[in-house]
Structure 1
């Protein structure tokens, strides 16, 4: 058999046509949303049918990594195709087979992209994991994920000393020294180092066809409110589904795209793998250990970054620096992970002349809602439904559709390509999430007369005070307008009269001290910008607890508030 036996030219043609339809409608949101249809091939392997297709004879950089010490390395599309073939051949020789589950716990290193492509070619199932995980989390993932192979950074091999199981252990970037029982991924190279020729140079020959419905990835969610769920995606749902993400990012062939996201989380696959390579763009990585806004902007200038995506935490740190240090701002700037506050958007617009475009999606889906290139952005809104998605708002209690406000849900008739298969090994939770012919996101949104959606909050974060509904996000956005506030999270605090009042946990910006004077200034700000029933009534200064993916754990703050822990300031006491 040859590699071509298992490739599907019809699938490649379908994918290319759908991609080009979106590329040709930049700035024409109405046309893109009305006319886009998902490609639906029965057989599809993105690595074989798409990546290898665009990589043939292509010497453009597919991946460029700038290390903290300033050294840089690049891998072309053609080289990446060849090295992923070599990785697939080598992994097959170590016993990796179709259907096997591989935990991939690598940093922003070239091997990560090679292994992801190789796993797809092998039809193995990838369980991405962040290197930040500790032994307890690894035990849970290996056991519940039924992991048969692990591929990890050499420096993280010790974390698996107390993780039982008969899985194959493979270290990447290991050099010569690896613990006993560990294999070296570097053995697939023929003594040529990071940019060397793969050993043997043999083309990879698949051993079977890939159905579009075959499982490809299993993601453990960040666990902001509960035990991490195991989200299953197929060879279609993320590779094909991220056409919506590509359109939102505004990527074009030849772009240089920088996305700040930690490996192991869905956003890394969104914007450092599928969306840019769907467009034929270069993935640009600045591999730092400690965030430095000035250094980041210098590397963006040197690297010719044309498209930039970052989580709100990074944007909030950037606006505390001199944004004008970036001589050539990116053409596209987007934010995802949590809603971005209007104050941040305005400061970046003033400095760069670029409007940050917010977007919304989840590990369970691709980009569902966004502010798209060339389309007016409404302050505070996360935009309109992505091409290929129909969004309905549903009353969380009655389950009836509400045109104005409700739980943001994805209509499954027809089912968008980018929606997960379900929660692996948890049919009850899958049934609950997919009840009523929709996928329920658990997020509350409001829709205006123009169809723009505004994030209200997680369904379990929204609360009532004096019988008024309170959106924590709205109050947090108001607090962030004050120069003293670097980050804020609002939760309900028990109150004998109102039952609950808004309490803010605040992380202060540099140069501000926690104490009654700062609290008084923030209460005054709250009274000036918020309606009386929404005002912040209590403040506590603290570092905000977060998941390893960087999302604020409001559930932990609610627990701390209920316990009465910490030093808080009451608005009534400081008037």
Structure 2
């Protein structure tokens, strides 16, 4: 997809061009397509000295990598992998955080026509072993952040033939990165891949059962691009006449490159457009986030709601302290809510573009403040190229205003195949079939997320289908209550779940993380309950509030409400003697 050329408009919103953009868009997917060629090789030829990655570490070290250096590194690593027997279709595990070697590894794997399997550095030995064995990965690339856990897992992974050690992990694998790359001649010939060939295997963190491996083709990156361009206010936005060179786009996100949000919403689309991305190898804190954005003159970002909430509580007026150049922020993973929306608009000077998608069908719904009005609290509208609806249990579209399952059709509004779709779950055909409703060539892919579509086509998130619950006969969507709680100055974050109740079935319970300086006591409980009662329906206010130091989170920054639900059920069972 060619890069649109337009100028960002800061916090303001442009005219509503949604219908025009959606009706006029047509996919252009070549028969052959390779992510490494699109994201690295072509820029190494055209703009070899352009910066691909600015890297910074928590210990103060920092530097940069050009597209030419990224290409040379990927050619050398491809030679190393090939010498170790990696061939087209083989799975290669990449167990590293945001660092230069992670990007090099992805490009090398794609060049070979192999499949990159990014794994979080936070995974323990059991989680690593399951994914390595299930995928049949024959080689793993790991640095010091995960080498201990990978070493522990390896004893249970007979198919893992080679471990390539990076950075401070040197000496703890079968090969060391620096020595191995220095000892080979670059492999300059790349495998020619079809657009439908597999490129990435990402294991999703489902709420039930073991994780499932979603197999993503090369073409899915093309399917992501309309959403990326729109949610980043017409990225990459080349400087207009009279603007300074330092107005050129620079992207940063704390999202881990081991997950769809970091890989497909940040690293790969930024490299696709030949622009720089910041790699931060360190902990996320509000101070670190603002400091990075100031130092690297970050213009575009993906910040998940938990990060934005922490930043909002830490810095109510950040522009008094930090010099920021933000032109667009996308947020996804959880419902943002109007409290964060208003703070981002007023305090950061940017109208937040919320986005919705999932690993299997990513970047399908969202906002673009530049070209259609963002509505606070809404997920947005389907991005150009995607046909999205809210459907019922039988696969029929729900009337506007009626909750249902958000689903994406295999074909766009023009009847053409949508390239964003995954190929299926790894070695799990029943799960793949269960994901779809309808005939194979004319089917909807269900997301498992509940929403309402209004008369103008905006979607309003209600929660994961398995997060919705009934209390005293009323259907409760946790995100609305959580958003209301976060507006209270004492609340840094909140999660709402059902608490089993013998008489009413369930009551609304809130787990609350306090903002600094506040004490959780009976008076604050009463204040929070009154705060919600005065803003939402009477049945929605939390009958019980429990203060907690931190909410259980996935490694992708999503609240694990299921953990809290199970805890409440266990407490109820223990009390009732069942």
Distance 1:364 1:337, change over 3 A: same
Distance 1:176 1:529 in 2: 53
Q: Is the 2:96–2:146 contact (alpha carbons within 8 Å) kept by the matching residues of 1?
A: no
After superposition, what is the alpha-carbon deviation per residue over 1:395-443, rounded to whole angstroms, capped at 9, x for unaligned? Answer: 13x4321132311000113432111111121111111111221000001
The answer to whether the 8 Å contact 1:545/1:552 transfers is yes
Structure 2 counterpart SS, 1:522? helix
| Residue 210 (structure 2) pairs with residue 204 (structure 1) | no
1:302 paired to 2:302: no
What is the CA-CA distance between 1:210 and the residue it aligns to? 0.9
RCO greater where, 1 or 2, for CA within 8 Å and sep 6 or more? 2
**What SS does the corresponding residue of 1:392 show, helix, strand or coil?**
strand
Q: 2:40 aligns with which of 6, 30, 51?
A: 51
Deviation for aligned residue 1:226? 3.5
Q: Which of 471, 491, 495 matches 2:497?
A: 491
* 1:269–1:295 Cα change, 3 Å: closer
Partner of 1:388: 385
Q: 1:333 aligns with which of 310, 317, 329?
A: 329
| Separation (CA, whole Å) in 2 of partners of 1:25 and 1:422 | 38
**1:407 matches 2:367:** no
1:112 is paired with a residue of what secondary structure? helix
8 Å Cα contact 1:232/1:420 also seen in 2: yes
1:182 to 168, 174, 182: 174
Aligned position for 1:257: 251
Aligned to 2:418: 416
Q: Greater CA deviation, 517-526 or 543-552?
A: 543-552
Residue pair 2:39, 2:274 contacting (<8 A) in 1 also: no
Q: 1 CA distance for matches of 2:265 and 2:448?
A: 23
Q: Which moved more, 1:544-553 or 1:95-104?
A: 544-553
Deviation at 1:354, TM superposition (A): 1.4
Deviation at 1:272, TM superposition (A): 3.1
SS, match of residue 390 in structure 2: strand
Give the match's secondary structure for 2:446. strand
d(CA) in 2 for partners of 1:156 and 1:383?
A: 37
- CA distance in 2 between counterparts of 1:544 and 1:176 reads 31
2:69 aligned partner: 79
Distance across 2 between alignment mates of 1:391 and 1:25: 28
Cα distance, 1:373 vs. partner? 3.6
Larger mean CA deviation between 362-371 and 45-54 belongs to 45-54
Residue correspondence of structure 1 range 409-488 to structure 2 within 5 A: 409-413=407-411, 414-436=416-438, 437-488=443-494
Q: Secondary structure at the match of 1:478?
A: helix
Distance change >3 Å, CA 279–CA 30, structure 1 → 2: farther
Deviations 1:441-493 (Å, cap 9, x if unpaired)? 00111111221111011111112223322111111111111111111111122
Deviation at 1:388? 0.9
> Helix, strand or coil: the match of 1:241?
helix
Q: Deviations over 1:174-213 (max 9, x none)?
A: 469413x5211212444xxxxxxxx66645113x431111
Pair 1:317 & 2:319 matched: no
Distance (Å, rounded) in 2 between the aligned partners of 1:127 and 1:537: 44
| Separation in structure 1 between the aligned mates of residue 137 and residue 100 of structure 2, nearest angstrom | 23
Deviates more, 1:494-503 or 1:504-513: 494-503
Which stretch shows the higher mean deviation, 235-244 or 299-308? 235-244
Question: SS state of the match for residue 224, structure 2?
Answer: coil
Distance in 2 (alpha carbons) for counterparts of 1:362 and 1:419: 10
C-alpha displacement of 1:106:
1.0
Which of 133, 136, 152 lines up with 2:126 in the alignment?
A: 136
- Matched with 1:42 is 31
Matched, 1:150 2:140: yes
SS at match of 1:220: strand
**Size of the alignment, in residue pairs?**
538
| Equivalent residue number for residue 500 of structure 1 | 506
Structure 1 unaligned regions, length at least 5: 1-17, 191-198, 569-575
Write the distance in 2 (CA, Å) between the matches of 1:175 and 1:497.
Answer: 58
Preserved CA contact (<8 Å) 2:110 2:199: yes
The reply to whether residue 548 of structure 1 matches residue 550 of structure 2 is no
Could you tell me how far 1:148 is from its partner in structure 2? 0.8
Quickly say closer, same or farther: Cα 1:311–1:565, change in 2 above 3 A.
Answer: farther
**Pair 1:407–1:166, CA change in 2 (3 A):** closer
Offset of 1:563 from its aligned partner? Answer: 2.3
Cα gap change, 1:144/1:177 in structure 2, threshold over 3 Å: closer, same or farther? closer
Residues of 1 paired with 2:499 and 2:367: CA distance? 34
8 Å CA contact 2:165–2:171 kept in 1: the answer is no
- Structure 2: gaps of 5 or more residues: 9-13, 239-247
Partner of 2:286: 293
Deviation at 1:239, TM superposition (A): 4.9
Q: Distance in 1 between matches of 2:264 and 2:544?
A: 38
Counterpart of 1:196 in structure 2 is none
Match of 1:223 in 2: 206
TM-superposed deviation, 1:24: 5.6
1:558 paired residue among 559, 565, 570: 565
Task: Give the aligned partner of residue 80 of structure 2.
Answer: 90
Alignment partner, residue 195 of structure 1: none
Q: What residue number does 1:119 align with?
A: 109
In structure 2, what is the Cα distance between the partners aligned to 1:127 and 1:307? 26
